């Protein structure tokens, strides 16, 4: 048992962001799988954190919500020596926070709109909202592809919190809006992300659950367990 408990679900994109960060920072946490579909579990979780959003970190009784805050908290208080996801230089840190925000707001959010739409009853689907989400993803892909010129990771030399945000956002976004051939820098970056051990381990822990992912039709067969392909 560690001082840290992470409430999470193995399929959740925002949980992936923090799982990647824990791995990169060399931090152990007890993981508590959250089933928000269970009314009792949902009520207990809402009592702990009223937005009902996961992941949620508990550090010796202290509630630490919101992925970017969780990652900053982990870095400040628990990271193994020499491990960083937010640079110590203030200007570089600002650049990381900017791209963390851009991935959360303009890739993760529209990607979630597709999933939310699939989870609705047919009669309650909202095609206009889905079209807007698709447009936003396409414009984000173009912006990120251009930004990646001459960069290995989002903000340059070192893997950062922005890459932790990018990996799950892109992983699920491309299942709804595939990358176009002209976005070759983004496609190469996506493959680099998948090869990063922290990302590969996070994808691995989700493998048994991908068969339940609402957008599974668009998910590459390479991510499924052989018996579910």
Ligand X SMILES: N[C@@H](CCC(=O)N[C@@H](CS)C(=O)NCC(=O)O)C(=O)O
Residues that bind ligand X (CB under 6 A): 12-14, 36, 52-54, 66-67
Sign of CA dihedral 74, 76, 80, 86: positive
Torsion of CA 160, 162, 163, 164, to 10 degrees: 90
Which is closer to ligand X, CB of 165 or CB of 187?
Answer: 165
Which is closer to ligand X, CB of 21 or CB of 148?
Answer: 21
Residue nearest to ligand X (CB): 67
CB of 68 to ligand X, least distance (A): 6
DSSP 8-state code for residue 197: H
CB of 162 to ligand X, least distance (A): 13
CB of 139 to ligand X, least distance (A): 21
Sheet holding 4-8, edge to edge: 30-33, 4-8, 56-59, 62-64
CB of 66 to ligand X, least distance (A): 5
- Tokens (6 digits) for 91: 């200007």
Q: Token match 């491309």: residue?
A: 174
Which is closer to ligand X, CB of 52 or CB of 157?
Answer: 52
Cα separation, 142 vs 19, in Å, equals 27
Which is closer to ligand X, CB of 50 or CB of 82?
Answer: 50
CB of 52 to ligand X, least distance (A): 5
Which is closer to ligand X, CB of 66 or CB of 72?
Answer: 66
Q: Token match 């698709």: residue?
A: 134
CB of 67 to ligand X, least distance (A): 4
Query: Cα separations (Å) of 138 from 78, 103, 178, 183?
Result: 37, 13, 9, 10
Q: Token match 């590459």: residue?
A: 220
- Tokens (6 digits) for 10: 């193995």
Which is closer to ligand X, CB of 13 or CB of 198?
Answer: 13
Phi, psi of 8 (to 5 degrees): -155, 170
């Amino acid at each position: 048992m560690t001082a840290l408990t992470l409430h999470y679900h193995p399929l959740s994109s925002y949980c992936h962001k923090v799982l990647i960060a824990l791995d990169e920072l060399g931090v152990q946490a007890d993981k508590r799988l959250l089933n928000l579909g269970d009314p009792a579990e949902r009520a207990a979780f809402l009592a702990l954190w009223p937005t009902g959003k996961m992941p949620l970190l508990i550090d010796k009784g202290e509630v630490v919500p919101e992925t970017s805050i969780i990652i900053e908290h982990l870095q400040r208080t628990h990271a193994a020596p020499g491990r960083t996801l937010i640079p110590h230089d203030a200007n570089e840190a600002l650049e990381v926070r900017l791209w963390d925000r851009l991935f959360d707001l303009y890739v993760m959010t529209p990607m979630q709109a597709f999933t939310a739409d699939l989870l609705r009853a047919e009669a309650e689907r909202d095609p206009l909202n889905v079209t807007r989400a698709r447009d936003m993803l396409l414009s984000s892909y173009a912006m990120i592809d251009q930004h990646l010129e001459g960069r290995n990771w989002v903000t340059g030399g070192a893997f950062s919190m922005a890459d932790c945000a990018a990996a799950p956002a892109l992983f699920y976004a491309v299942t709804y809006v595939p990358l176009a051939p002209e976005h070759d820098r983004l496609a190469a970056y996506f493959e680099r992300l998948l090869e990063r051990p922290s990302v590969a381990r996070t994808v691995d822990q989700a493998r048994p659950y991908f068969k339940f992912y609402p957008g599974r039709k668009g998910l590459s067969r390479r991510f499924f367990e052989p018996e579910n392909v």
